[in-house]
């Protein structure tokens, strides 16, 4: 590739040599994600992963894809690009574990107005960190330089993950019944959803992202909003070993009202006790600045809970102990109720 160069393409705005440099810079980050099964070389045409289902009776592959959304606008303004990759991985692998699957590998897609090799490497650094946290391999990706389509200093980031689960271990929400316990795992803040609303009410483009704010307990708005999405893979996999988990919900866009019902069978709802949730200060700031009704907040944001798990009452104590030992301050936030209409009741 050292002789691959097109002056005409460069004059059109695409420098292919910058792409080669970016690949070289990101290799050290990608190497940290290599796990058993990863047989890829960086720069090939396809990502390879050797699947050994020896310990599975009837293996099922589970896939998920997502992006970071307009949280990227905050990263652009703050000039911080090394954590949004964690968000990208989190949004994919957190969905995969909701069916009980273990993530295997991940691929990313970066589209930019101008290929800045150092910036691209920073982005991939975050992706690699997300893969390390989720114990998955970064086996490939694509960086597309698209002048005239994206501004020179902006980019988009999306990803795709694949996991595996034994068919008889796939979580079955039909087993959820009245009286079951809803356990919540804390979020790190806004995660990667609702940022179009966040940017509007907090006037992000004109805000001082580096000034400490008393409303945020002395933290800056930039560091608060860019806190990476929590990756719940390792604690959930441990929980699945110790406890019979009936269903899991990843609390993303649509908040409680949209996501929790996806983990419930027809005729079932949940009663959520908001006083049991330790709500990060950023949500009060958003609600106050935007004069946003409480229901809209719970219908847009995670409000401090990034994932919910439903277990039988007799498994509550063990589930809480397992998750806390894994480093997550899990709490009981509600219970399952019989309901055909109000699927989520928050009191």
pLDDT at 48: 80
Q: How far apart are CA 219 and CA 210, in angstroms?
A: 9
User: Which residue in 30, 41, 37, 33 sits closest to 59, CA to CA?
Assistant: 37
pLDDT at 324 over 90: yes
pLDDT score, position 9: 44
- Pairwise CA distance, residues 91 & 228, whole Å: 11
Question: What value does the mean pLDDT take over residues 241-246?
Answer: 97
Residue 271 has phi, psi (to 5 degrees) of: -105, 115
Name the band, by pLDDT with cuts 50, 70 and 90, for residue 21: low
Distance CA 207, CA 14 (A): 33
Using 50, 70 and 90 to split pLDDT, how confident is the model at 31? low
Residue 33's closest CA among 114, 115, 105? 105
Q: What is the pLDDT of residue 15?
A: 57
Nearest to 98 by CA among 251, 320, 301: 251
Closest CA to 193 of 66, 285, 334: 66
| pLDDT over 90 at 123, yes or no | yes
pLDDT tier at 298, thresholds 50, 70, 90: very high
Residues 270 and 133: their CA atoms lie apart, in Å, by 30
pLDDT in tens, 160-202: 999 999 999 999 999 999 999 999 999 999 999 999 999 999 9
Report yes or no: 330 and 320 within 8 Å, Cβ to Cβ.
yes
Range with lowest mean pLDDT among 31-45, 59-73, 227-241, 274-288: 31-45
Tokens of 77: 């303004």
Grade residue 8 by pLDDT with cuts at 50, 70 and 90: very low
What does the DSSP assignment read for 315-329?
GHHHHHHHHHHTT--
């Amino acid at each position: 590739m050292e002789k691959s160069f097109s002056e005409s393409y460069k004059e059109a705005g695409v420098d292919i040599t910058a792409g080669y440099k970016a690949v070289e810079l990101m290799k050290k980050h990608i190497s940290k994600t290599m796990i058993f099964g990863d047989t890829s070389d960086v720069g090939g045409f396809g990502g390879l992963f050797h699947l050994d289902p020896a310990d599975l009776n009837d293996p099922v592959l589970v896939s998920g894809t997502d992006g970071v959304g307009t949280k990227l606008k905050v990263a652009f303004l703050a000039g911080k690009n090394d954590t949004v990759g964690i968000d990208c991985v989190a949004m994919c692998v957190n969905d995969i574990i909701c069916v009980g699957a273990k993530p295997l590998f991940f691929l990313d897609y970066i589209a930019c107005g101008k290929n800045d090799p150092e910036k691209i490497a920073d982005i991939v650094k975050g992706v690699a960190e997300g893969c390390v946290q989720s114990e998955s391999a970064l086996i490939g990706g694509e960086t597309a330089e698209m002048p005239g389509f994206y501004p020179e200093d902006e980019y988009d980031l999306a990803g795709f993950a694949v996991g595996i689960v034994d068919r008889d271990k796939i979580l079955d929400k039909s087993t959820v019944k009245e009286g079951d316990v809803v356990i919540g795992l804390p979020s790190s803040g806004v995660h990667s959803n609702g940022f179009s609303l966040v940017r509007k009410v907090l006037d992000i483009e004109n805000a001082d992202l580096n000034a400490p704010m008393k409303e945020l307990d002395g933290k800056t708005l930039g560091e608060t909003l860019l806190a990476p999405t929590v990756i719940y893979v390792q604690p959930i996999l441990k929980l699945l070993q110790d406890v019979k988990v009936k269903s899991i919900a990843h609390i993303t866009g649509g908040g409680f009202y949209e996501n929790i019902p996806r983990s419930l069978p027809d005729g079932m709802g949940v009663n959520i006790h908001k006083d049991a949730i330790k709500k990060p200060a950023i949500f009060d700031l958003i609600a106050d600045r935007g004069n946003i009704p409480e229901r809209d907040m719970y219908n847009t944001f995670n409000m401090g809970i990034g994932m919910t798990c439903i277990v039988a009452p007799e498994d509550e104590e063990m589930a809480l102990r397992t998750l806390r030992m894994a480093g997550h301050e899990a709490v009981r936030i509600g219970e399952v109720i019989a309901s055909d209409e109000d699927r989520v009741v928050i009191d």
